[in-house]
Structure 1
Amino acid sequence: MKNEENTEPCYDDFQPYCQWRKEVGASIIQEVRIVEIHLQGFKEEELKNEMKWDGCLYISGEHPMGKNKIKRLSKRIDVSKYDIKGIEAKFEGGKLILRLPCKSSTFSLLTNGRGNAIGILHLHEFLKSSMALALLIILGFYIYKYSQCTYFGN
């Protein structure tokens, strides 16, 4: 009896190590995140990426290991809070490096009237501060008006 060789591939599924960090020297106005996905042994042509309607970037790949063994990965990254049009990727040194710029609409730049930036606030914090200031102004107006109409003498 002859031993038949198994020609079916044997998959070794794995989750790659991912390292997240802020980009050093990024603009104060737009924050940028860097994701390094460690893929030792893989080649760039063995990787595929796909942006789907759910706001996620799907990265997959297969690397032959010899004797019907294939190392396989599937990674999903939620990119809904990033500027999708500004995403950049490069593959070097066994790492897939993604540059993810945050959506800039969440930031508001304040100036001092001469074009010089004086600070950055999140939009919702700016709105809360504006509402509190408006309430203080209205309260001050009513206190002023009430004190003019009322006589506090003996």
Structure 2
Amino acid sequence: MHVVDTKPFQFDAFVSYAEEDYQLVITTLYLELIRLGFQISLPDKDFIPGISKAEQLLQCIDDSRKVIIVVTENFLVSGWDSYAVQMVVTHAFHNNRQKSIIVIIKDGIPVERMPKDLRYIWWSIISIRWPDDGGNISFWEELSTSLNLN
């Protein structure tokens, strides 16, 4: 028997990113998504000190309709983010929420360099390229539309 959880989500999206990309995520991505009316969960905002990061990661993913993974050069070298990708993918497939993953690709990174867990499910995720100037209107429209998809 398949049980569907009908509880409303607390957030529209949880954003996973490398700690080195904090400024980019906060000053650009987070602020624009908030301006567009989305409720966004971030580790730096929503994780509680003293509780395991892994436990809180799963809770934030569970409380969010979508997960945005910001893939940069920094992200690719971070061991924690590899763990985060594995948790996002496992959670999505375990809960029949494959279309809940949005990958934002920055720094011109080719798909071949993506974490293998993402490459294996590339057919079921939404991928968007971060514009070089950071302010491309079509980027924000595409991201907003992706967040509004069921």
* Alignment TM-score > 0.5, same fold: no
**Larger helix fraction of residues:** 2
Instruction: Calculate the TM-score normalised by the size of structure 1.
Output: 0.21
**Larger strand fraction of residues:** 1
Larger Rg: 1
